[in-house]
Structure 1
């Protein structure tokens, strides 16, 4: 469907960075040029290409971290004066600074990144202490057994969430109350700690997530004057969690951290970790809603609650 904002060519209220502005303007020009002369398949392919390009850009911070992890395994010398984990910390900081200087990232992303550093690092320190996974033991830039680059990997998830809000002008129908989502997110975070001492309630928490978001639909548009597309928000959660699981496999293959079953030889991360990522992602969703409040599509009045 098309909304008034799309028909009038109005801009989303979430400002683009300069590069995002050029990408969005290019998408608008190409779609306008094909509006009358091209068939639906050609227009559909172009829209899919724009969607893919914007998704890739939303992942830029996480992709940069994965590239650094892989390169550090393949080409970083073992006898270098600076150990690999410390080099990764400095490289991650350099990427973050470069993105801010070049205006490839806005201030809101930075706040989410800092918040995710705290949330992720606290959990990492506890989990490594409990033996859930381990990092290399060398290096000075670390807290306990956790090198500081691990916080950037969590921050990449938050960076992605903020970017997709802006790039696709996300709107939500029947979004659950923020207080309820915050309570579930707090319970999820607590369970990552308490399940070492108390019964693991992750499946109850998955059920709570499904109940909360089952009626919620997400609408997005590939460029500012494009039609809105709708999808159940739970579908997007599953999709993002799957790609996080794939990224985790890349990270463990690169030796950034390993699970106990990978100590002798690398194996795929079990699909049970997919559920963990789905739950952890819900924490990021709630934190990002504190930066970008969920809004209804322009033609729909916000529902109470």
Structure 2
């Protein structure tokens, strides 16, 4: 079972507990039961299954927010609703918007519309969180699509090299009796090895880009994948530049080719740095799954 479904179920449990302190306990609990039957099993209310996991996750995310707002509207204690709304806007909204909503909540505490103001603030925070989740999923889809394209192009390059008579992509060093396509494939594999070392170190081991919360969105698998796919091409490029005499130096053996290819795999970091920066912006704040504290989302 996916981690996010476990967290969504835990948050549904929290909402169910809180529903007992509302004026619509049975109605809200029925909605939570319907949520479990639909989004958490991957089947929509009409009985159709979601084609894409991201669509299912987004539907569950939005439904949890709707349920939380329903609980807030009928909760028995206004102060609890206001406190949760303030926490949400402080976490999810930009600083200026958060300050504006906090002032609205504070100014309405003694008025008859205090509950609705708090629920509106809660909804605004939920909208911001949903927009961020959609952007994160779009980034992951684009990144994985780019990775697939690079791998397909690599396969096409190896196939094309096998059909060509000369070493088009990677100049063969003197004394190496190896088909040009096989040498190209070896260079790509060496590039992937170099990319693996750097990507695992920078994304996981060193923790420089470790997100605060990965339960609803974890960019790291997609980051590593695109680095590996890019590494095989940066390796080919560097070997081609060195072997073609376009940069200082040359290679004279298969060993030197492999060393250059591994270094080329390392070089993918300079190419994928922009994607890493985008991923960092998507996980700067904690993505609330509703399992912490009082079960906020």
TM-score if structure 1 supplies the norm length? 0.28
Task: Name the larger-Rg structure.
Answer: 2
TM-score if structure 2 supplies the norm length? 0.29
The structure with more helix, counted as a fraction of residues: 2
Of structures 1 and 2, the one with the larger relative CO (CA 8 A, separation 6+) is 1
